[in-house]
Structure 1
Amino acid sequence: MERYAISFQVKPGTEAVVRDLLANYSPPEWTTPDGARLLGTSIFMKDGLVVRMMEIDGSLPRIMTHLARQPAIQELERRLDEFLVEPRDMSSPAGARAFFQKAMMEHVTTRVAVFEEQGA
């Protein structure tokens, strides 16, 4: 499993609308045709900064291509456009790729607890 996150700013005063959009869109298909899987997503927001985190099993480019083709994601991204501080072009693969390259956060570390089983 790998974790990735992107961040973007929304216009001041639009946080409630953006929160509603991000909390209530229909989920995408979780598995790509070639078997890569989106395991989960989390979205955080504070003071107009949105952070979207994804956990995946497989290739990030395949997951991103798959998500870009999902009608629910296309609709969400289209509706978000008017609230973003920086305009983006999600109408083409090149525009989407440019946005994600700019918005991708650097993964610094992941720590996972390891628990030993208790003997009987």
Structure 2
Amino acid sequence: MASSWHALHYPLKARSEEKVKELFRMSGRPQFQIYGDDGRLVGRLLSTMAFVGREMAVRVIEVEGPLGLVATHISRQDTIREFEQELQEHLAVPRDMTTPQGARDFFRSASMECVLTRRHDR
């Protein structure tokens, strides 16, 4: 299964950057294996990076599998739900991460397409 990179943009309220940095640093780890409704392995979360700047944060994820399934998986993870709930008060644009559909909608509206990846060894 090939991996792909995705970024999610979080517009932040002014002066919330330090709190958001801490939330990202303290956030828990979700389960890395993603299973379909039939119990088969359909993807994996491979890596995550988070960047926080002036009134915005960006989370970059490397995944295997369809992004919609990744969003659904993430919405069901207790550690992610806790993080998203704490993050909500710092967002300039509210969103619903409490349901799989809300998570898919957020991923669809906040996602950024990876248009270039370069490595020195490729």
CA distance in 2, matches of 1:65, 1:89: 12
Query: Could you tell me which residue of structure 2 aligns to residue 27 of structure 1?
Result: 29
Aligned residues with identical type, % of pairs: 37
Query: Could you tell me which residue of structure 2 aligns to residue 90 of structure 1?
Result: 97
* Deviation beyond 3 Å, 4+ runs, structure 1: none
CA distance in 2, matches of 1:95, 1:58: 19
Structure 1 residue runs without a partner (length 5+): 116-120
Q: State TM-score, norm by structure 1.
A: 0.87
CA distance in 1, matches of 2:107, 2:4: 16
Query: Could you tell me which residue of structure 1 aligns to residue 116 of structure 2?
Result: 109
The aligned length equals: 115
Contact 2:44–2:65 (CA under 8 A) maintained in structure 1 = yes
Shift of 1:93: 2.8
CA distance in 1, matches of 2:67, 2:104: 12
Deviation track 1:42-98 (CA, whole Å, cap 9, x = no partner) reads: 000111210100011222222221111100001111111111001112233332222
Structure 2 residue runs without a partner (length 5+): 36-40
Shift of 1:35: 4.5
Q: State TM-score, norm by structure 2.
A: 0.86
